[in-house]
Amino acid sequence: MTPRPLAALAVLLALPSAPLAQEIPPMSPLGSGTGTPVLVQPAPLPPVAAEPTPAPARPEGVTATLTAPRRVTGRVPLTLTLKSSRAVPVTFGVTHDNDQNCAFAPTVRVLRVGTREVVYPVPGASPRICTQELMSRTVPARGSTTFTRELDLPAGEYMVEGWFAGFGNKLQVKVPAQPVRVTVQ
């Protein structure tokens, strides 16, 4: 291209476009009550990373044992024993569990033997609305405490998994126990 067309192109590019060349009415500041109000869009906030909820810890020196009769007719009694080998007392607290028919503890999951079918808590069932009472028990140094509950299961062979899920000295804890096998007649 020759210098003359380049200069003409530069002049055209420097001119404002037609809509921008129109006069824009002046706007008054907010709160003055005159003129056109100024609409201010807040700047989007940067995404805030949610702090991950810490996983419940297993307190050092505390174990759990789940017991139930091997064969039973009717309701299945369960006992979860928390035993501490610590030299200081430990206070355990637990609330009603909405997914466990408002039981305090132990938390359980029941599987039909020979399958992975979960029998309890009932899959897809709506959780119950329970009161938010807090039950606490203090385990003396090198001592133990128990939590009991009953399950109403139909006749069959089951593996019952159980654990304590609550608070230990005001920290969220989970103490698992070995599963037990139960035959309901």
> Domain 62-184 belongs to what topology?
Immunoglobulin-like (2.60.40)
Q: Is the pTM of this model over 0.75?
A: no
Share of the chain above pLDDT 70, in %: 75
At 41, give phi and psi (nearest 5°).
-90, 125
pLDDT in tens, 87-127: 999 999 999 999 998 999 999 999 999 998 999 998 888 88
Residues 6+ apart with CB under 8 A from 13: none
- Whether residue 44 is predicted with pLDDT greater than 80 in this model: the reply is no
Task: Kindly state the average pLDDT of the residues 48-56.
Answer: 70
| Domain ranges within the chain, ordered by starting residue | 62-184
Task: Kindly state the average pLDDT of the residues 177-183.
Answer: 97
Give CA–CA dist 69/183, Å, rounded.
8
